[in-house]
């Protein structure tokens, strides 16, 4: 069932769980997510990063994700992750994405507000919700690499009021990619932001964070958790296992199916954490 992300996130916020948002690279990964969440009776969000959009094109990716989401038993939204400018946000909107993220976190506070508010205004006629980011999530996302910058609670409240965004990604010490050491998240800061911001909060960079820590983030106010690296690794591991078992395999459907099975197992595990 294809839906907009705000319907999922508002319910998650109200009932104190999180929606898993899973980065999709191909048809098999979308199918794996849909199969996993449909079996669990859980909602989900398909999302694509700018590098994936540039590689496959927004129209093709939207067609794959919208088709799989429409046929799924669970409600699924189609989301642009880390939209890197107004132009890409509008491409995704026109292609049929049902949720848009604009990431102006590299800009000044006022410029981030201006860009985010502009995207909100452009998406409003279509009823498409917008996610923005305040503070920086560390690590490497596509071709961009940055250090952590923690979100200030007072700035978060002002940012939401001035932009009208429907969800907010915050910086509390997470990073994209796998962690080299044990991550130290500022959970008190999360609680402070939750106390002054009334829209759903988003946690980026969740791959590799322990289940107990993620569950605590949900208890303190996170309504959406993004997973990317773990799914990419799972898909690649499935393909590698297929080729290692039979070096003569040449049919992409054979190793694609193994990749799909591996992703489905990973998504099942991650969804259970989100619903704890």
* Residue found under tokens 């499935």: 238
Catalytic one of 6, 81, 152, 261: 81
- Looking up tokens 């962690």, which residue turns up? 179
Q: Where are the alpha helices (DSSP H) in the chain?
A: 5-15, 27-40, 50-56, 58-71, 86-95, 109-123, 153-163, 187-196, 211-219, 229-245, 252-274
For residue 43, the tally of other CB atoms under 10 A from its CB is 26
The Cα 41–Cα 75 span in angstroms is 9
Q: Which residues of 3-26 are buried (b: 16+ CB within 10 A; e: fewer)?
A: bbbbebbbebbeeebbbbbbbbbb
81 a catalytic residue: yes
Active-site positions? 81
């Amino acid at each position: 069932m294809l839906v907009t992300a705000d319907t999922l996130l508002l319910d998650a916020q109200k009932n104190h769980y999180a929606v898993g948002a899973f980065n999709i690279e191909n048809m098999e990964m979308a199918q794996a997510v849909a199969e996993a969440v449909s079996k669990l009776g859980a909602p989900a969000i398909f999302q694509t990063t700018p590098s994936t959009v540039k590689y496959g094109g927004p129209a093709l990716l939207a067609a794959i994700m919208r088709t799989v989401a429409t046929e799924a038993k669970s409600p699924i939204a189609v989301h642009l992750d880390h939209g890197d400018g107004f132009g890409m946000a509008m491409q995704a909107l026109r292609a049929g994405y049902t949720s848009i993220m604009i990431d102006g976190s590299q800009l000044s506070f006022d410029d981030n507000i201006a860009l985010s508010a502009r995207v909100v205004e452009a998406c409003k006629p279509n009823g498409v919700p917008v996610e923005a980011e305040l503070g920086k999530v560390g690590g490497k996302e596509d071709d961009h690499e940055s250090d952590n910058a923690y979100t200030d609670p007072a700035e978060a409240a002002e940012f939401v009021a001035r932009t009208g965004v429907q969800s907010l990604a915050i910086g509390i010490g997470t990073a994209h990619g796998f962690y080299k050491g044990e991550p130290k998240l500022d959970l008190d800061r999360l609680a402070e932001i939750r106390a002054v911001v009334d829209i759903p909060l988003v946690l980026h960079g969740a791959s590799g964070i322990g289940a107990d820590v993620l569950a605590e983030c949900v208890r303190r106010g996170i309504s959406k958790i993004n997973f990317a690296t773990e799914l990419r690794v799972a898909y690649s591991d499935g393909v590698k296992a297929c080729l290692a078992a039979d070096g003569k395999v040449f049919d992409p459907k054979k190793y694609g199916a193994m990749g799909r099975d591996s992703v489905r197992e990973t998504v099942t595990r991650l969804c259970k954490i989100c619903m704890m």
